[in-house]
A and B are shown apart, each in its own frame.
Chain A
Amino acid sequence: MTSVCFYFQVHQPYRLRHYTIFDSATDYFDGFKNAQVCRKVADKCYLPTNRLLLDLILRYEGRFKVAFSITGILLEQFREYAPDVLRSFQDLAETGCVEFLAETYHHSLSFLFSPGEFASQVQAHKRLIRDTFGQMPRVFRNTELIYNNALAEAVERLGGFDAILSEGADHILGYRSPNYVYRPPNTCRLKLLLKNYRLSDDIAFRFSNRAWNEWPLRAEKFAHWIHAVNGNGTVVNLFVDYETFGEHQWEDTGIFEFLRHLPTEIFKHPDTDFKTPSEVAAAYDAVDVVDVPYFVSWADIERDLSAWLGNPMQHNAITELYNLEGQVKACNDPDLLADWRRLQTSDHFYYMCTKWFADGDVHKYFNPYDSPYDSYINFMNVLDNLRSRCDPELNPSKTGLTAAPA
């Protein structure tokens, strides 16, 4: 038996507005742009893909299943800017064929900087998912699939999780295949599901690449590759950004047709089915321990932290941000805390990445800045204002005259 395990990452950050050293208002976020992006992606990707998935789930009467991880801050934005999208996800939840995963509410790198903050964000996200979709998440995925042994241990300590997801990077697997269930060291019951990055990236990145020798990729061919795993593995983990459908791969590339026909082609082999991450964890035993002493992620070729922490500006910005934790929390000001948390979203640091800047490149999609330097300057200006709010002496805003955060 081989199971196909689809998990889609659904996330949009709260982008900052242009904020100079001369600004002093506390509305840091660009409500207009965030609404605009949310609406655009909703129309091109979220709504049509949700509709398609619902069709497929109904047509295959429970045999087709998927999982989502939707960040807390995107659910907030849906509520505000696109309630129809939220409803369509709730419709999917009601079919019983869709699993929702847990992650940090703010899509943050908090695990690397503050274990306490990490725990509260995970709990906040679990509560939100329970309240929104009526199911308690049992599987955890960290921001951008960032993972190491210590994370697995921390997640097991938090309790309530059966499995954790990560990248099936060659350097952690060695000769082993990502198509089995594994287990982290020093944990008792947590299972480790690793992304099959070749097959996942065939859909997410190569699908429309005409220079790729497998182009055009049709459902039949892809299903054939999945079938070939039979006998060599128990699960094929296809972890992709949800925006792949309709945004990264536009509708005219045929991506929706591909998805529409995939289940039929997959089911042509009798020993193949779809399972959600929880079902995979329940159905298959771990075959081995995978030791990951250093952080891995699903980003770029490096599969490490360099997309967010690869240069001095990124380190400086994030360190300064987490240095404020004590002061922010001591203020007991919910607006201040909310702003500080929204600044933790990994995208802010991703925009500062200079890795590919020289080649002109991939970090551009959805990036509101012309250059990583501009994004750093903007972030530091906002942080400077946030810091001033932590000091009651300097903070005149307690009078309630300043604008409410977006």
Chain B
Amino acid sequence: MSITTLMLGWEFPPFISGGLGTACYGLTKAMSRRGMQVTFILPREKPIRLAGGSSDVGKALAREMPNVRIRAVASHLSAYGKYGPQPVRPVTAAVEAELADEPPTGEAATYGPSLEKEVFRYAQRVMRIAQRETFDVIHAHDWMTFPAGVAVAASTGKPLIVQVHSTEFDRSGEHVNQFVYDIERQGMHAAARVITVSHYTRNVVVSRYAVPPTKVDVVYNGVEQATGSPPLPHSAWPTRSEKVVLFVGRITMQKGPEYFLRAAKRVLEKLRNVKFIMAGDGDRLHGIIEMAACLGIGHRVFFTRFLRGGDVQRVYQMADLYVMPSVSEPFGIAPLEALQNDVPVLISKQSGLAETFRNALKVDFWDIDEMANKVVAVLRHPPLSEMLRVNGRRETLRFRWEDSAAKVNDIYRRVLHVA
């Protein structure tokens, strides 16, 4: 039997701003390749016009994913709030009208000012779409889609599967937003199965949300395998006397930018010719810039803000080491992408990736001296960086979305009692 999934997901290219969008897209594409039927509910702030093509985002993406139907839902929810690439603006009536997939509702499109209200408004809209769709399971990604998933499951009787890409504890440490926590908890408890992207996150789900361990499955993320010709080897570049250490990610508490800076300070005590590049935006950006100045290393730290497309490749090509100092990282696709760009990686042990990936240096995010120790080692010893680069790049091949999709398929079949 072919199972059809109602997927409550996030961002599709070209507007991907982080791990959540990347994961939804990668997983869905792989499910399509496996012949799994997916109806993908995509929150959109405005209709998308792809360069030189149809104005219908659904059709454009359909060519890539024949078994996936995209249904846009007007919402200004975005994966990362205002720190994604898109500015948050209320959806206008004109935009609403252009969202061809959705019939006019007659409702005023002036959305509530708060995220809380928007989450429920999104749920109502999804409910409306769901009434006109046929599907076997509902698969919701992260908390903002959980109320919608729970509502659709309650009204249709179809099983709900929630996938946790990050929890409120990852994003906010101990200072959790109670409203968000409650929604996460309700979603996990209402679901037939919970999927986490690592054992690390599975532990959080079990210990912090009291979900029975037997209900939680781990499905690791994959990474899109690099296509086209491999980048030029570093040896082909003009020799640089300066080394570059890279941070790519939102500049927020969760990503540990402070630890990166403090380690940078220690590294500069040992090596002079090192530059530190921090690519990303976030609520800690200004504080971090100030901190770099206070530490007296402002002249060695460079802030690029949020980078898109080709700029990301370019910054990777300059880098000698990628550091992911996350305080709490459910998975961590970005280091895999760095490796695909031939940059060795140093990752925080507080990450899902660290529990399964072998050819990376690992460090506790708070252990500044050890982080600096390892950064210095990579910059000073070419055999080390070479082995991390070559073996790491090879190891990224283990992370295939096809395998993730196959596991998700098994979970669906178990939930539906299909042999």
Q: Is B386 within 8 A of A312, CB to CB?
A: yes
Contact check, B270 vs A20: say whether CB atoms are below 8 A apart: no
Q: Is the CB of A20 within 8 A of B373?
A: yes
Q: In the complex, how many angstroms separate the beta carbon of A286 from the nearest chain B beta carbon? A: 43
Q: Is the CB of B391 within 8 A of A312?
A: no
Known: A357-B358, A373-B361. A312 touches B383 (CB 8 A): yes
Kindly state whether residue A165 has any CB partner on chain B within 8 Å. no
List A residues at the B interface (Cβ < 8 Å). 20-22, 311-313, 315-316, 354, 357-358, 360, 370-371, 373-374, 376-377, 380-381
B402 smallest CB distance to A (angstroms) = 20
Stretch at the interface among B1-9, B18-26, B374-382, B411-419: B374-382
A380-B362 in contact given A21-B270, A22-B266, A311-B387 (Cβ < 8 Å): no
For this complex, 18 residue pairs linking A to B, each with C-beta atoms less than 8 Å apart, are: A20-B370, A21-B376, A21-B377, A22-B266, A22-B372, A311-B387, A312-B386, A312-B387, A316-B381, A370-B362, A373-B384, A373-B387, A374-B361, A376-B384, A377-B381, A377-B384, A380-B377, A380-B381
B369, B377, B386, B391: most-surrounded residue (chain A CB, <10 A): B377
Give the chain B neighbours of A357 by CB distance below 8 A: 358-359
Query: Which residues on B sit within 8 Å (CB–CB) of A312?
Result: 383, 386-387
> B381 to chain A: which residues have CB within 8 Å?
313, 316, 376-377, 380
Tell me whether B387 and A377 are in contact (CB under 8 A).
Answer: no
The 4 lowest CB-CB distance pairs between A and B, nearest first, are: A312-B383, A20-B373, A377-B377, A316-B383
The reply to whether B377 and A354 contact each other, CB–CB distance below 8 Å, is no
B395 close to A (CB within 8 Å): yes
- Give the docked Cα–Cα distance between A244 and B388 (Å): 34
Which of these, B359, B362, B369, contacts A20 with CB under 8 Å? B369
Q: Which of B362, B386, B395 contacts A358 (CB 8 A)?
A: B395
Q: Given A21-B376, A22-B266, A22-B369, decide whether A313 and B362 contact each other with a Cβ distance below 8 A.
A: no
- Nearest residue, chain A, Cβ from B378: A377
Q: Give every chain A residue within 8 A of B380 (Cβ-Cβ).
A: 380
Whether the Cβ atoms of A381 and B387 lie closer than 8 Å is no
Nearest CB of A to B401, in Å = 21
In the bound complex, what is the Cα–Cα distance between A370 and B354 (angstroms)?
12
**Bound CA span A315–B369, Å:** 27
Interface of B is mostly: helix
User: In the docked arrangement, what's the CA distance between A370 and B395, Å?
Assistant: 17
* Contact residues in B for A20 (Cβ distance below 8 Å): 369-370, 373
**Contact status B377-A381, CB under 8 Å:** yes
Rounded to whole Å, the gap between the CB of A200 and the closest CB of chain B is: 31
| B384 CB contacts on chain A under 8 angstroms | 313, 373, 376-377, 380
In the bound complex, residues from chain A placing their C-beta under 8 Å from that of B361 are 371, 373-374, 377
* Residue from B362, B374, B387, B395 whose CB has the most chain A CB atoms within 10 Å: B387
Contact A21 B372 (CB under 8 A): yes
Question: Chain B interface (Cβ within 8 Å of chain A)?
Answer: 266, 270, 358-359, 361-362, 369-370, 372-374, 376-377, 380-381, 383-384, 386-388, 391, 395
Shortest distance from the beta carbon of A307 to any chain B beta carbon, whole Å: 16
Specify which chain B residues have a CB less than 8 angstroms from the CB of A360 in the assembled complex. Answer: 358
Tell me whether A371 and B358 are in contact (CB under 8 A).
yes
Q: State the Cβ distance, A27 to closest chain B Cβ, in Å.
A: 18
A315 touches B387 (CB 8 A): no
Given contacts A358-B395, A371-B362, contact A377 B373 (CB under 8 A): yes
Given A21-B377, A357-B359, A360-B358, 14 more A-B residue pairs with CB atoms under 8 Å apart are A22-B270, A311-B383, A312-B387, A313-B384, A354-B387, A354-B391, A358-B395, A373-B359, A373-B388, A374-B361, A376-B383, A377-B374, A380-B381, A381-B377
Q: How far is the CA of A354 from the CA of B266 in the complex (A)?
A: 29
Q: Are B377 and A313 in contact (CB under 8 A)?
A: no
Contact indicator A358/B358 (Cβ below 8 Å): yes
Docked complex Cα distance between A358 and B370 (Å): 24
Cα distance, A326 to B47, chains bound together (Å): 73
Which residues of B sit under 8 angstroms from A377, Cβ to Cβ? 361, 373-374, 377, 381, 384
Q: Determine how close the nearest CB of chain B comes to the CB of A371; give it in whole angstroms.
A: 7
Cα of A358 to Cα of B391 in the assembled complex, Å: 9
A-side contacts of B266, CB under 8 Å: 22
Tell me, in angstroms, the Cα distance from A316 to B362 when the chains sit together: 22
Chain A residue nearest in CB terms to B380: A380
B383 touches A315 (CB 8 A): yes
Query: Is the CB–CB distance between B373 and A22 below 8 Å?
Result: yes
Given the complex of chains A and B, what is the CA–CA distance between A388 and B384 in angstroms?
Answer: 21
B388 contact set on A, CB distance < 8 A: 373
- CA separation between A315 and B387, bound complex, in Å? 12
- Which one of B270, B358, B383 lies within 8 Å of A313 (CB-CB)? B383
Which of A311, A313, A373 is packed against the most chain B CB atoms within 10 Å?
A: A373
Q: Residues of B contacting A374 with CB < 8 Å?
A: 361
* B375 to A, closest residue via Cβ: A21
A22–B375 alpha-carbon span in the complex (Å) = 12
Interface centre among A21, A312, A315, A358 (most CB of B within 10 A): A21
A20 to B386, CA, bound (A): 21
How far, in Å, is A23 (CB) from chain B's closest CB? Answer: 9
A311, A316, A370, A381: the one within 8 Å of B373 (CB): A381
Docked CA distance A313–B388 (Å): 10
Rounded to whole Å, the gap between the CB of B1 and the closest CB of chain A is 37
Question: A354, A360, A377 — which one has the most chain B CB atoms within 10 A of its CB?
Answer: A377
List of A residues within 8 angstroms of B376 by Cβ: 21
Closest chain-B Cβ to A208's Cβ sits at a distance in Å of: 27
Give the CA-CA distance A324 to B403 in the complex, in Å: 49
Report B257 CB to chain A, min CB distance, Å. Answer: 22
Q: Give min CB distance, B150 to chain A, whole Å.
A: 39
Residues of B with C-beta under 8 A to A358:
358, 391, 395
Q: Report the minimum CB–CB distance from B399 to chain A (whole Å).
A: 14
Whole-angstrom distance between the Cβ of A168 and the nearest chain B Cβ: 33
Bound-state CA distance A268–B270 (Å) is 69
Nearest A residue to B349 via CB reads A370
- Complex contacts, A380 vs chain B, CB 8 Å: 377, 380-381, 384
Give chain A nearest CB distance to B373 CB in angstroms.
4
Please name all residues of chain A whose beta carbon is closer than 8 Å to the beta carbon of B391 when the two chains form the complex: 354, 358
Please report the C-alpha to C-alpha distance between residue A358 and residue B397 in the assembled complex, in whole angstroms: 12
**A370 and B377 alpha carbons, distance in the complex (Å):** 16
Instruction: Give Cα distance in the complex from A22 to B374, angstroms.
Output: 11
Of all chain B residues, which has the CB nearest A358? Answer: B358
Q: How far is the CA of A232 from the CA of B380 in the complex (A)?
A: 57
* Distance (whole angstroms) from the CB of B415 to the closest CB of chain A: 31
Residue on A nearest B388 in the bound complex, by CB: A373
B386: A residues at CB distance < 8 A: 312
User: Roughly how many angstroms separate A378 CA and B212 CA in the complex, as a whole number?
Assistant: 41
**CB closest chain-B residue, reference A380:** B381
